Amino acid sequence: MADETAVADTGAEQPGESSGTGESGESGEELRFAYSGGDSEEWAGDLTGRRLGSRLPRLVGRSFALAWAVDRGAVVALLVCQLVSGLSGALGLFATTRALGALIGAAQNPGHLGSAVPSVLVLAAAAGVRAVLGVAIQGLSNRLAPRISREAEFRMLEAATNAEMAAYDHPGFNDRYDKADRGVEVSRDMIGQSQNLVSSLATLVAAAVVITALAPVLLPLLLLTAVPQALASVKGERITYLSFLATFHDRRMLNMLRWNLTHKDQADQIRTDTLAPYLLAKYRASGTKVDRTNDRAAWQRARVTLLGSAAGGLAAALMWGGVMFLLGTGRIGAASAGTVVFALRSAAQGLQGIVGYGSDLMRTGRYMDDWESFVEEAAGQRLDRGALVPGRPRHVALHRVGYRYPEADEDTLHEVDFEVRQGEIVAVVGENGSGKTTLMKLLSGLNLPTEGVVAWDGVSTRDLDPHALWRQTAVVPQEFARWPMSARENIHLGQPRPGGDEEVRRAAAASGADDVVARLRSGLDTLLAREWWGGVALSSGQWQRIAVARATHRDAGLLVMDEPTSDLDPRAEHRIFTGLRRLAEDRAVVLVTHNLSNTVIADRIVVMDRGRVVQQGSFQELTTRPGLMRDLWLLQQDRSAPPGVDGALRGD
């Protein structure tokens, strides 16, 4: 039998052990998925017969509650059908005794055959009603299942968009999302499983009522046949679940490799770097480990099922012996014995259904738990800030701000003071990894500081309604979205301004996206989604022009641009930077750039180094005064020096 050591028995590697591919000559850190599965281990501890017994009613309740939320009429109809079906099952069984008695009498005296007709008719009617109700129940379940699934998905998506941005940096968040997603997938099965469970229970109760009336002594024996199989089923579930946990990291690895091997973004490098055999070997190695663990679990489960079936079979033999004993000693008549046989068969079916559908429902319930916890608290990351609604910000500032990414060993930002006012352009420069993008995330309220305060017109971003704050924010991130929508939608993002297309065209003109749109086959109507939808493909630079147009179209008081021109040709870049001053008239503009000549247009330049602000000043001041900005500026100019001239590199 399986027990707590099931994982170890499966031979799977435990956290901390190698999950690499075993290639020789490799050193360094092993790629391991950082999240161990959180409360899933706790869940394995819950997989005991007693806990399941108390959980099933709650799971059924939850299924019907979710169904109730999407279609009350169908739920009422379903419950009525179930009830009537159960009653007609019991009625049919009781009618069996009479019908059998009459038939046995008619066998001895054919003239009495007519007396069997009424009870046979009741039998037939009960069977007919059950059959019709079965179809109705099926139809209602089919109606409810997709609606439940869609509702579950909607709630999950809503929860995901209401999570803190920092959630994505928590190792567990994406995993919890995946699990919740699995919950959505299986939610459609939940109502069918619940109603089959209830129906099996109704069948069992009807049969038990009949057996209690005719031969109560058989009832404990009946239970005895069911218990070993039920226990075996629970143990089997536990083994399967533990092997699922044990293969967690390798299954993650398989997913990651599958994505990398097939995704378009890497497809060119997979080929030119001849990387495929190496990645495929990793895939095969992880796959082999998963298979090995699953094989062991399957073997364990087979052993447990065999034991359960053998014990159940023994109990069944006892029970049938009991029926023969009762009949042989004249304690029940032939008609009652016949009915008991029917009832026992029906009870066995009911029990089997309870065990089978019960364990299916438990499995579904586990995923639904994950779904529920995600929906309720977005994996602990639900946006939970103040409700103050900011106006167009006139002053955005950081006061002694520190920021540490979740699970990071050290702070990314240290004691940062920073400000930008409406009408001002502030450029932020610094070497890679100095914290510029992180600073942008804090300014735009995407992340909250772990120390200090980020204030919009004196109010901490913690106290502001985040959605209202983002309505006042326009951001061009380094990695901007390429929405599979029309060019127009890609600029107005479903939030057209009163001027309609006029405003869209003006924003496009400011970023050079007007030239892109002019060349599209249907102008602003053109679908920008080549891969799936037959639309038009844009180059990286053309997309970047659209992304900048998107930000300028927004009527937001804070404009944050993180490397907005990295892919642009000089003409487009020139257009954007010369237009920035006009944009800044009623906005606070923050610009991150590595191209230091672009910082000439800024009112102030903030220089960052290893998470600290190390210099501030105008372009003129910073490029003439010794310091990081001047060093970087001279390095950038160095490429223009003729061969052999190295004076610029000295930085003097």
Ligand X SMILES: Nc1ncnc2c1ncn2[C@@H]1O[C@H](COP(=O)(O)OP(=O)(O)OP(=O)(O)O)[C@@H](O)[C@H]1O
Binding site for ligand X (CB under 6 A): 169, 405, 408, 412, 430, 432-438
CB of 439 to ligand X, least distance (A): 7
Structure token digits, residue 419: 């400000």
Q: Decide whether 186 or 428 has the Cβ nearer to ligand X.
A: 428
* Helix or strand holding residue 135 (H, E): helix 117-161
Which amino acid appears at position 418 of this protein? F
Structure token digits, residue 406: 């979740």
Q: Decide whether 183 or 477 has the Cβ nearer to ligand X.
A: 477
**How far is it, in rounded angstroms, from Cα 32 to Cα 16?**
9
Q: Decide whether 371 or 403 has the Cβ nearer to ligand X.
A: 403
| Beta partners for residue 231, in sequence order | none
Query: ∠54-55-56 over CA atoms, to 5°?
Result: 100
Q: Decide whether 286 or 412 has the Cβ nearer to ligand X.
A: 412
74-105 core/surface letters (b: 16 or more CB in 10 A; e: else): bbebbeebbebbbebbbbbbbbbbbbbbbbeb
**How far is it, in rounded angstroms, from Cα 366 to Cα 373?**
11
Q: Decide whether 129 or 165 has the Cβ nearer to ligand X.
A: 165
Q: Are strands 612-617 and 604-609 parallel, antiparallel or unpaired?
A: antiparallel
Q: Decide whether 34 or 121 has the Cβ nearer to ligand X.
A: 34
**How far is it, in rounded angstroms, from Cα 337 to Cα 326?**
8
Rg (CA), the chain: 35
Residue 272's contacts (CB-CB under 8 Å, 6 or more residues apart) are: none
CA dihedral (426, 428, 429, 434) in degrees, to 10, reads: 170
CB of 440 to ligand X, least distance (A): 8
Pure H helices in 329-435: 334-377
| 8 Å CB contact between 161 and 378 | no
Q: Decide whether 41 or 407 has the Cβ nearer to ligand X.
A: 407
Q: Decide whether 390 or 430 has the Cβ nearer to ligand X.
A: 430
Taking alpha carbons only, the member of 377, 383, 376 closest to residue 62 is: 376
Q: Decide whether 364 or 412 has the Cβ nearer to ligand X.
A: 412
CB of 165 to ligand X, least distance (A): 10
Q: Decide whether 190 or 560 has the Cβ nearer to ligand X.
A: 560
DSSP 279-348: HHHHHHHHHHHHHHHHHHHHHHHHHHHHHHHHHHHHHHHHHHHHHHHHHHTTSS-HHHHHHHHHHHHHHH
Ramachandran region of residue 606, left (φ > 0), alpha (ψ -120 to 50) or beta? beta
| 8 Å CB contact between 129 and 102 | no
Query: ∠88-92-95 over CA atoms, to 5°?
Result: 135
